[in-house]
Amino acid sequence: MGKVYYISKNVSLGILVLAAIALATIIALSIAYDKERAKNRGKPGDGGTGGSSTSPPPTTHFTPKEPWDRYRLPDSLVPVSYNVTLWPRLEPNTDGLYIFTGNSKVVFSCVKETDLIIIHCNKLNLTTFSGHHAKLSGLSEAAAPSIQKSWLVEKTAYLVLRLHSSLTVGATYVLHTEFQGELADDLEGFYRSEYTEDGVKKVVATSQMQATYARKAFPCFDEPALKAVFNVIIIHSRGTVALSNSRDIDSAESVIDGVPVKVTTFEPTKRMSTYLLAFIVSDFVSIQSNQNNNLLIRIWARKKAIDDRQGDYALNVTGPILQFYERYYNATYPLSKSDQIALPDFNAGAMENWGLVTYRETALLYDPILSSTGNKERITTVISHELAHMWFGNLVTLQWWNDLWLNEGFASYVEYLGADYAEPTWNMKDQIVLYDVHKVFAVDALASSHPLSRRAEEVNDPSQISEMFNTISYSKGAAVLRMLSEFLTEPVFARGLSSYLNTFAFGNTVYTDLHICVAVQNTQGMQIPDTVHNIMNRWTLQMGFPVVTVDTSTGTINQKHFLLDPESVVDRPSEFNYMWFVPIKWMKSGVEQQLYWLLEKSASGQEWVLLNTNMSGYFRVNYDLGNWDRLLSLLNTNHQALSVINRAQIIDDAFNLARAKIVSTTLALRTTKYLSKERDYIPWESALRNLDYYLLMFDRTEVYGAFQAYLKKQIQPLFEHFKTITENWTKVPTGHTDQYNQINAIGVACNTGVESCRDLIKTWYRQWMENPNQNPIHPNLKGTVYCRAIAFGGVEEWEFAWEMFKNATLASEAARLRSALACTKAPWLLNRYLEYSLDPAKIRKQDATSTIQSIARNVVGMPLAWNFVRARWSYIFQQYGEGSFSFSSLISGVTQRFSTEFELQELKQFKEDNLHVGFGSATLALEQAIEKTTANIRWVTENKAHVLKWLTEEST
């Protein structure tokens, strides 16, 4: 799946400097978990639907469990192929229900003697044949045992058949079922998505099978290792088009049950897993190209989006990205076509169904006039991520979900390589440091983190499987695989991949198979201290990562498990005692040195030393003060002697080491002194993310003045730089990341009171107000400009934005405006906006909590939002508490500035006062808020005086 927990880049830039701070990431992670939990809890009727007997035969034993009480299928039966016919109805039936009907024949062989057939089946009403839920026969009319009894098990989602006698080992059978299911709007299995075009409501039937929802579309052996060939037929109304994983080979008009229909037959699929199936019926249209050796490449979307040419960009990059992977993997694209489709309702960001990839509209459709550079980059990386899976994940699939990190971590790493090939001028490969490595460091530095890899037995039921889709799997997986590729070198890694993909094509693997394939390719005899397997196990089987400390005066180097909170206690034991084999790339006096392996301790040189060049290893670095001084003075005199990544890393390491009390806060602040000379995005972004915590802690204190003055001094040259290169703001910088840094420059300059910045923004916004049909603001800058213009303006500016919000037709434009409306400094407007947020006629229900959070980001809005949430808690909880994705972040968002004893008391009082109401999915967030407030109080007490003194000295 694409990144479900995608934290958007360059979107927020709200009131404060930036959005994505370490804390935000931590919160995002806990939301992700909460969401999964909420999802799984919010399904009371999970399992079979009524209509058939759902109670198993009476069982009195508690142990051993019956096989149908276990979440994993028994290993006695193996599917070979399925013939599946599905007929979704895009109009409701007389009961007002959207349904689909279908039938399936699964051919399977018996590999262990058994008189039970257990197959997944969820929420399907099965037709009975002589009282049983299925028919069984031997292949080609051979005999099969007769069915004694059949029943459904809701909890484990099984159809169970008990036979009169055993199946014969080595024989092949056919199980035939007929069923009816609901085409619900639940975004799972075979579901429906609705949208309006020209005032007409349209319905699309589409699917999301990963991880455990194929069983909701037809009875199947729904585990990734049980691959089979699928012969799919879709029946659909005339005037619609049916898509599936393979190419259609026939489409005939017919009349079934008196209904005129089309019957579309697809060529047999390759041998594949059920979770990668896709079925879609819509009236979408497509654009196509055949540029890759006659491979059919199509982009599908709503007609209006295609007419507006919103699919062109995706089509342009797909061919090159597929070519890149063919070369990189040394393996041709395994299928005869590549379809990608943008859906109006979609839970994840995207899903890598083999040959028919599904996307959220924002992840596939690019509008050349209205979309920003950030939108475009997201499309490129998401496409690159999903297409990487066409081989890694789809052609070769992991045995079980416990190894999900390898699948998603891998795609999260190579997505940057594919995107770099498609857009070579964007420096995509550097960005992994900001968007994956630094992001996951924040989460993995907590005592509550967990290892990448889990044992297969620990992951059984659907909620345990869902939990695997988290930041650790995606981003740490990416960082660790990148490190493997860096120390073995890219050619060795790529040859290993190629051998892995060719050896296991159409099969399944466990993560150690990749280690073996990669290790075998290390024929050049790259010196490594142990086997690839043993080195990698230290990174995959224990959580966290080390901080490597080098003392250049004594020549010692050591490693220690890095924990952000020095007072936290790790209660998860590790067989490796939190020691890693650390591959260290390093530089001395600007010269790259031979790779050094830190196993325990060692020696080093005198001159300035820089460790972990280009952040190629997954660890943080600390130095003796002498070396820190040398690095800081290098930054101040000749920062370009270090790569952008290393500049960003020095800043990020120093700030995080300071949070962990390993170095002083002043040392961290000193890494930002050279920024007045910095023009590159990655170091600036890294600094602003880290300074955001300071801003939150101090923007209501006397430190704020000095903080603003210092930041203003640092940002001014950057602002002038962009003014010059954009010829007085009339052009867009050509460099991709320069466009992002221009947003930072304007945002920070305006916030810190750079006069010409304010004038610029006011002028743009005024021009737009005078001529609403002619927005002069570049899409890249809209979010930033709207927010500042509303902050500087009054009721008129606010009302204008409100009108524009109500009329916005593009979802991303509406989102920008909704967030900017929270930027006003007028308390009465903020209070009114808080009221609006709970009025579904004004703010869609799904956006309510995030609107309140935007208001709380605003220093003026924070106390108003807190009072509002406290006063309305029981109403908010009843209306928005259950099943809402963002609910838990409401508490974390509103309390993120809390740093006084008084606020801590208020928070505790709030908890006590509302115990009878409850906190639902925000329960954990409330506990965390209390914990974080306590930590903030401590941090502010310890650091405020030093910070104020340093900033005061530096800002004059």
Catalytic residue positions, numbered: 386
- Is 385 annotated to bind a ligand? Reply is yes
Cβ count near 393 (within 10 Å): 24
DSSP 568: -
Which residue's C-beta sits nearest to ligand NAG?
51
- CA nearest 10: which of 694, 582, 787, 578? 787
Return the number of the residue (83 or 568) whose C-beta is nearest ligand NAG. 83
Q: How far is the CB of 106 from ligand NAG (least distance, A)?
A: 8
CB-wise, 332 or 941, nearer to ligand NAG?
332
Closest CA to 819 of 845, 794, 782: 782
**Cβ–Cβ < 8 Å for 441, 434:** no
Residue 883 phi, psi dihedral angles, 5° rounding: 70, 5
What is the rounded CA–CA span in Å between residue 947 and residue 665? 7
| CB contact at 8 A, 138 and 171 | yes
> Phi and psi dihedrals of 338, rounded to 5?
-135, 105
Q: Using CB under 6 A, which of 8, 40, 49, 53 touches ligand NAG?
A: 49
Stretch that binds ligand NAG, among 43-51, 474-482, 767-775, 850-858 (CB under 6 A): 43-51
Query: According to CB under 6 A, which one of 99, 505, 510, 935 is a site residue for ligand NAG?
Result: 99
Helix (H) or strand (E) holding 637: helix 625-638
CA distance 628 to 513: 42
- CB nearer to ligand NAG: give 338 or 612: 338
Task: Using the rule CB under 6 A, give the single segment among 113-121, 204-212, 310-318, 346-354 that binds ligand NAG.
Answer: 310-318
Dihedrals φ, ψ of 107, to 5°?
A: -95, 125
* CA–CA gap between residue 113 and residue 101 (Å, rounded): 33
> Between 164 and 203, how does the x/- string for binding to ligand NAG read (CB under 6 A)?
----------x-----xxx---------------------
| Residue 900 parent element (H or E) | none
User: Which pairing describes strands 259-266 and 229-237: parallel, antiparallel, or unpaired?
Assistant: antiparallel
Residue 558 as a binder of ligand NAG (CB under 6 A): the answer is: no
Q: For residue 725, how many other CB atoms are within 10 A of its CB?
A: 15
Give the DSSP H/E element, type plus range, for residue 547. strand 546-551
Distance CA 65, CA 382 (A): 43
The DSSP annotation for 649-690 comes to HHHHHHHHHHHTTSS-HHHHHHTTGGGGG---HHHHHHHHHH
50 binding ligand NAG? (CB under 6 A): yes
Coil vs helix vs strand at 70: coil
Asked if residue 464 binds ligand NAG (CB under 6 A), the reply is no
Kindly identify the residues of this chain, within the stretch 814-833, that bind ligand NAG according to CB under 6 A: none
Minimum distance between the CB of residue 311 and ligand NAG, rounded to whole angstroms?
9
Binding residue for ligand NAG, selected from 42, 74, 260, 368, defined by CB under 6 A: 368
533 belongs to an annotated ligand binding site = no
Binder of ligand NAG out of 312, 326, 345, 799 (CB under 6 A): 312
Q: How far apart are CA 53 and CA 303, in angstroms?
A: 45
Among 30, 122, 125, 473, binds ligand NAG (CB under 6 A): 125
Q: Whole-angstrom Cα distance, residue 405 to residue 388? A: 14
Count of residues interacting with ligand NAG (CB under 6 A): 21
Annotated binding residue 408: yes
Considering the rule CB under 6 A, would residue 231 count as an interface residue with ligand NAG? Answer: yes
**Contact with ligand NAG (CB under 6 A) among 166, 286, 292, 316:** 316
Between residues 99 and 528, which has the closer beta carbon with respect to ligand NAG?
99
Kindly tell me which of 26 and 365 has the beta carbon lying closer to ligand NAG: 365
- Least distance in angstroms from the C-beta of 170 to ligand NAG: 18
SS3 75: coil
Instruction: Single out the segment in contact with ligand NAG by CB under 6 A; choices: 99-107, 394-402, 481-489, 850-858.
Output: 99-107
Task: Show contacts with ligand NAG in window 57-86 (CB under 6 A).
Answer: 83
What b/e string do you get for 919-932 counting C-beta neighbours within 10 Å, with b at 16 or more?
bbbbebbbebbbeb
Nearer to ligand NAG, 348 or 379 (CB): 379
Between 54 and 554, name the residue whose CB sits nearer to ligand NAG: 54
Q: Which segment (147-155, 311-319, 349-357, 773-781) binds ligand NAG by CB under 6 A?
A: 311-319
* 8 A C-beta contact, residue 59 and residue 153: no
To the nearest whole angstrom, how small is the minimum distance from the Cβ of residue 174 to ligand NAG?
A: 5
Contacts of 537 (CB under 8 A, 6+ apart): 576
The reply on whether position 495 binds ligand NAG by CB under 6 A is yes
Nearer to ligand NAG, 362 or 824 (CB): 362
Q: How far is the CB of 180 from ligand NAG (least distance, A)?
A: 5
**Contacting residue, 284, 313, 545, 798, with ligand NAG by CB under 6 A:** 313
Specify the 3-state DSSP secondary structure of 404.
Answer: helix
For residue 119, the one-letter residue type is I
Point out the annotated binding site. Answer: 385, 389, 408
Residues in binding site for Zn(2+): 385, 389, 408
Q: Which residues bind ligand NAG (CB under 6 A)?
A: 49-51, 83, 99, 105, 107, 125, 174, 180-182, 231, 312-313, 316, 330, 366, 368, 495, 498
